[in-house]
Chain A
Amino acid sequence: KQEVTQIPAALSVPEGENLVLNCSFTDSAIYNLQWFRQDPGKGLTSLLLIQSSQREQTSGRLNASLDKSSGRSTLYIAASQPGDSATYLCAVHPGTYKYIFGTGTRLKVLA
Chain B
Amino acid sequence: EADIYQTPRYLVIGTGKKITLECSQTMGHDKMYWYQQDPGMELHLIHYSYGVNSTEKGDLSSESTVSRIRTEHFPLTLESARPSHTSQYLCASRGGTANTEAFFGQGTRLTVV
- Across the interface, do B48 and A34 meet the contact criterion of CB distance under 8 Å? no
- Across the interface, do B99 and A43 meet the contact criterion of CB distance under 8 Å? no
- Across the interface, do B90 and A43 meet the contact criterion of CB distance under 8 Å? yes
Q: Does A46 contact B (CB under 8 A)?
A: yes
Chain B contact residues: helix, strand, loop or mixed: strand
- Across the interface, do A44 and B104 meet the contact criterion of CB distance under 8 Å? yes
Which of B11-19, B61-69, B73-81, B105-113 lies at the interface with chain A?
Answer: B105-113
Q: Does B45 contact A (CB under 8 A)?
A: yes
- Across the interface, do B42 and A41 meet the contact criterion of CB distance under 8 Å? no
Q: Which residues of A contact B33 (CB under 8 A)?
A: 98
A41/B102 contact (C-beta < 8 A), A97-B48, A101-B42 known = no
Least CB distance from B10 to A in Å reads 9
Chain A residues with CB under 8 Å of chain B are: 31-32, 34, 36, 41-46, 49, 51-52, 89, 91, 93, 95, 97-99, 101, 103-104
How far, in whole Å, are A101 and B41 apart by their CA atoms in the complex?
11
Q: Which residues of B contact A103 (CB under 8 A)?
A: 42
* Interface range on chain B (Cβ under 8 Å from partner): 20 to 34
Chain A residue nearest in CB terms to B103:
A46
- Across the interface, do B101 and A95 meet the contact criterion of CB distance under 8 Å? no
Least CB distance from B22 to A in Å reads 14
Known: A34-B102, A97-B50. 9 other contacts (CB 8 A): A34-B101, A44-B104, A49-B99, A49-B100, A51-B99, A95-B98, A101-B42, A101-B43, A104-B42
Chain B residues 1 to 49 lying within 8 A of chain A, measured CB to CB, are: 2, 6, 31, 33, 42-43, 45, 48
Q: Which residues of A contact B106 (CB under 8 A)?
A: 42-43
Q: Could you say which of B56, B58, B106 has the most chain A C-beta atoms within 10 Å of its C-beta?
A: B106
Q: Which residues of A contact B58 (CB under 8 A)?
A: 98
A41/B107 contact (C-beta < 8 A), A34-B102, A46-B101, A98-B33 known = yes
